[in-house]
Structure 1
């Protein structure tokens, strides 16, 4: 699997078929989490499971057994120690039990290249859930990439920044990391980093951040399931890459333990 471009897809522990995929394709209703597996382990496994259980209750009024999810991931990995894994939860029948789909691809890492972000006036619906069918963010990310950017930066009224298309973003004001206090998905990497920053001498807080405020920050970085990368530009504004900040943030993230699946 490590060198195969074809993903391995299983639904409820069995190889996916067109018939079993059809309900998800037609309804486009469900949620997921994305993780990197190394040595058969995952950073923040409990956070991934909490995310899946909470969204399953909200979207389907159903419980999701954590051991079931772990079993399906292990089965789909098939012995692969390193992989990119997505776990989807959906319902094949309106009143049926929820199904768990696991997609296994080769492992990936966040590009080390400083990121260029294009601000767009868009916010994800129901942003606290990592739901499927993210047409809006995919559309804006594609337009951003066409314009020579790496990622879209989602904003609301008055240019209030919420998140990236598939990332969270943190801003550094010279003394503390500021995470946008706006409706957004709390990414697992962000959740692992945020509480650990103060212990490393890097204060962290939430606050409203507008596009007009960006000149007051000395650096920025983005996070997602693939890792962390510095930001060097938002639209036409250049943002310095703070090597020491990135070294500290990366060291903190690298110190996060890997949890057995």
Structure 2
């Protein structure tokens, strides 16, 4: 049985709208093939709720040839939030199709709200590219393994690279770079994170261009050509101070602009 330290509240887990049973929990334990989305809920509202629902539906159609109804997801998330007694929370919605099932099982996990630490992050590059990176899925061994090695080496996170030292994404984040004129996202296969998409849209509304182009560790497209960098995921945005041995300045104006771009995204009630 999993135990949690006293400072870590036990998560509230529901399967298809009912409290998780031992039988339910065998699904992710024994049939872990699936997908998920992670979102932060504040006062019952979510930025980018539509893209989260679209992500679940697209992944479910690709993996299981079945749709996931957005209204059903919203109902299940509301029910789980009520069951946990929370209006502010970290929420994950996982989709599984156990053997013999004809409808996707949706697991909703509710934990305490979370925010990315504000300090500048250090990243250790690693030679790992995810299979089907456009699908967000649980239990990714390579991400966890290299993330663990990065922390042991004194870094905050791993930076995943494809053959040719092509930068793709962080182990749990998207990464962006600033060249003094544009925000540059690596033009390589990676998960299109919801926060990344909201930043692109917000920057466009503010007249700040956002582009995709190849980024490598070294050479003419190397990370060293950029003035600064940042990472983002559902928990927020943080500057990058170092990739391997390459140092970056923290651009406070850029970080304020990124924060404003994210905050300009509308919030939708679950």
Find the counterpart in structure 1 of residue 24 from structure 2: 20
Question: CA deviation digits over 1:46-103, x for unaligned, max 9?
Answer: 0000000000000111111111110100000014110000000001233431110000
Question: CA deviation digits over 1:110-146, x for unaligned, max 9?
Answer: 1001000000000111100001220110100011011
Question: Which sections of structure 2, spanning at least 5 residues, go unmatched?
Answer: 1-6
Number of equivalenced pairs: 259
Q: 1:10 aligns with which of 8, 14, 30?
A: 14
Find the counterpart in structure 2 of residue 109 from structure 1: 115
1:191 equivalenced with 2:197 (yes/no):
yes
Q: TM-score, normalised by structure 2?
A: 0.93
Return the offset for 1:4.
6.0
RMSD of aligned residue pairs (Cα, Å): 1.1
Find the counterpart in structure 2 of residue 259 from structure 1: 268
Q: 2:230 aligns with which of 208, 217, 221?
A: 221
1:238 equivalenced with 2:242 (yes/no):
no
Q: Distance in 2 between matches of 1:199 and 1:96?
A: 43
Does the CA-based 8 Å contact 2:202-2:265 persist in structure 1?
no
Q: Distance in 1 between matches of 2:246 and 2:70?
A: 44
Return the offset for 1:202.
1.9
Find the counterpart in structure 2 of residue 33 from structure 1: 37
Q: Distance in 1 between matches of 2:27 and 2:217?
A: 41
Does the CA-based 8 Å contact 2:202-2:264 persist in structure 1?
no
1:45 equivalenced with 2:49 (yes/no):
yes
Find the counterpart in structure 2 of residue 56 from structure 1: 60
Does the CA-based 8 Å contact 2:199-2:262 persist in structure 1?
yes
Find the counterpart in structure 1 of residue 157 from structure 2: 151
Q: Distance in 2 between matches of 1:23 and 1:253?
A: 35
Does the CA-based 8 Å contact 2:40-2:90 persist in structure 1?
yes
Q: Distance in 2 between matches of 1:44 and 1:198?
A: 16
Does the CA-based 8 Å contact 2:173-2:232 persist in structure 1?
yes
Question: Which sections of structure 1, spanning at least 5 residues, go unmatched?
Answer: none
Match of 2:164, SS state, is helix
Q: Distance in 1 between matches of 2:77 and 2:205?
A: 33
Find the counterpart in structure 1 of residue 3 from structure 2: none
Q: Distance in 1 between matches of 2:195 and 2:61?
A: 23
Quick check: 80-89 or 191-200, which moved more? 191-200
Does the CA-based 8 Å contact 2:38-2:90 persist in structure 1?
yes
Does the CA-based 8 Å contact 1:24-1:92 persist in structure 2?
no
Match of 2:142, SS state, is helix
